[in-house]
Amino acid sequence: MTNSPNKIRVLLADDHAVVRAGIRQFLETAGDILVEAEAGDGAEAVRLIEQNPPDVAVLDIQMPKMTGIDVTHWIRAHYRSLGVLILTAYDDEPYALGVLQAGANGYVLKTAAPDEIIQAVRDVRAGKSAVDALIAQKLVARMVHPPAAPVDALTEREAEVLTLAAKGFTNKAIAVQLGISDRTVQGHLAHIFDKLQAASRTEAVMRAVSLGWITAANE
């Protein structure tokens, strides 16, 4: 990254090149924002930040190698003052809760108007929070009417299975890692979904992270 003293220096991380190109184009029309680096996955984002930290990292949530949540955890451990803006298509509060708890400064949907996203980058750079109005409403509703806490915590084996699932391992790969059968993995996941009142792996992972039962960060 080069020195741009009068502009907000941005790292843009998204695994879709076409999406990155579109976001870059409208961010740079603002005049005070310069996208100095692009990453196609979370690990590349970390490498580029290490080389030269930007003012703001604009991250997608679902990326190969490291998710936006993983990268946010890493940034907060190494660059506490760096602004983190999550720009995603996911409007589910478990996602938002997970990244905000990880230390993100903002959470904006890709469906937002370009001007809103530009302002979110400026706000994050200024140390303000920038949360999509719909997401903020859902988070407030969650605080007022929180989902019932699971009666039973995950067993040690269930936590191992869900941690590997969070890292992107398939059922077969999880079975190999833990030395158990595919059917046993499926059984563990069924119990996990039931305990966490989840309908998918992603929902189960986000709920477990918000409860502090597992970490979303890749070790």
- When mean pLDDT is compared over 22-36, 77-91, 136-150, the highest value belongs to 22-36
DSSP string, 32-43: SEEEEEEESSHH
Q: What CATH number does the domain located at 8-144 have?
A: 3.40.50.2300
pLDDT for residue 33? 95
Span 103-122, average pLDDT: 91
3-state secondary structure of 128: coil
C-alpha 113/C-alpha 27 separation (Å) is 11
- Spatial neighbors of 202 by CB under 8 A, at least 6 apart, are 94, 95
pLDDT in tens, 55-81: 999 999 888 888 888 899 899 999 988
| Residue ranges covered by each domain of the chain | 8-144, 156-210
The phi and psi torsions of 163 (rounded to 5 degrees) equal -65, -45
Please check whether residue 197 is in contact with residue 150, taking contact to mean a CB–CB distance below 8 angstroms.
yes
- 156-210: CATH topology: Arc Repressor Mutant, subunit A (1.10.10)
pLDDT (average), residues 147-172: 82
**Rounded to 5°, angle at Cα 134 from 196 and 58:** 85
